[in-house]
Structure 1
Amino acid sequence: MKEDRYEHVDELLGAFQQFSKMNWQKLTMFGLKPSEIRVLITIRLRNTKADKQVLTVSEISKLLKVTSPTITQMVNSLLSQGFVVRTSDSQDRRISSIVLTEKGELLADKAVAKIREMFKGMVDYLGQEQSETLIDLLNRVHAYFEQIQDQPDGY
């Protein structure tokens, strides 16, 4: 008997390739690089949830799963544009925290609103039930890739 449980592997691969070609996550917003927007949003959402909790470069790095030198570059760019400020810890001068300026908060809020609107449109397009199914499937796909990533040779 022919095993056809893998008959859709090529279609699945093609669907994932379509997303990588779309570059929907790479859209520039408000004159900033997508990576800079992600840093602003990460700081903003973290502050919203934790009553103005300050973040260090290494904490932002862990949250975004990017190296600290990469985050430092982005923070320096955001600093020069007036979106963030760097503050020193009063007990340990080696530790510096990254805090959004009012300008940074406003831009992060606009970016979050724009992204949420895009996903609201997707929910409208798919409908409630298919949206819930998609969320479940994407979470399961992410868990699968996290699981195989930890294995030697990716499998």
Structure 2
Amino acid sequence: MNEDRYDKIDELMEAFQQFSRINWQKNNPSLLKPSEIRVLITIRLGTEKSGKPVLTISDISKMHKVTSPTITQMVNSLLAQGYVVRTSDAQDKRVSGIALTDKGVRLADAAIARIRDTFKGMIDYLGKERSRALIELLNGVYHYFEEINGQLED
């Protein structure tokens, strides 16, 4: 009887595996990597949400839950391509901020619009109630993995 609750384990594993095979960025008209586009989006939404004109590498790395050197590499690439600029803090010259250029704003806004349209389509496809249930379930799954990952690190 106790094993019945695990009878769908293979189907659950397969459902998660399907997401690794989806090409989320299929309609990406830019030559940027998906990770670079995510950084642009993070800067765009992060500055809007915080009201700050720039974000630091540390801010961005915390939002992505990756190391600062990983973000620095992407920011340097975006800098070289003209999507972002680096600014100095007037009080502390060791701190530099990252801001989008006009080119970066246009690409980030276009990417945000594409992503929102994709999720609007999913809501239309699933319906409002099933979409709410999905949000609740996915948040629960996320918290579960956060919890077990925290336990594994202890």
Please tell me the TM-score bracket, short chain as reference.
over 0.9
State the AA in 1 paired with 2:39: V
Correspondence for 1:109: 109
Correspondence for 2:136: 136
Measure the CA separation in 2 of the matches of 1:28 and 1:21: 16
Correspondence for 1:50: 50
Measure the CA separation in 2 of the matches of 1:149 and 1:140: 14
State the AA in 2 paired with 1:110: A
Measure the CA separation in 1 of the matches of 2:144 and 2:38: 24
**TM-score with structure 1 setting the length:** 0.92
State the AA in 1 paired with 2:86: R
**TM-score with structure 2 setting the length:** 0.92
> What percent identity do the matched residue pairs reach?
66
Instruction: Give the superposed CA RMSD.
Output: 1.8
Correspondence for 2:4: 4
Unmatched runs of 5 consecutive residues or more in structure 2: none
Q: Give the secondary structure class of the aligned counterpart of 1:86.
A: strand
Unmatched runs of 5 consecutive residues or more in structure 1: none
Aligned length: 154
Are the structure 2 counterparts of residues 140 and 25 from structure 1 closer, same or farther at C-alpha, using a change threshold of 3 Å?
farther
State the AA in 2 paired with 1:50: S
Are the structure 2 counterparts of residues 52 and 153 from structure 1 closer, same or farther at C-alpha, using a change threshold of 3 Å?
closer
Q: CA deviation at 1:90?
A: 1.2
Q: Which runs of 4+ in 1 moved over 3 A?
A: 25-29
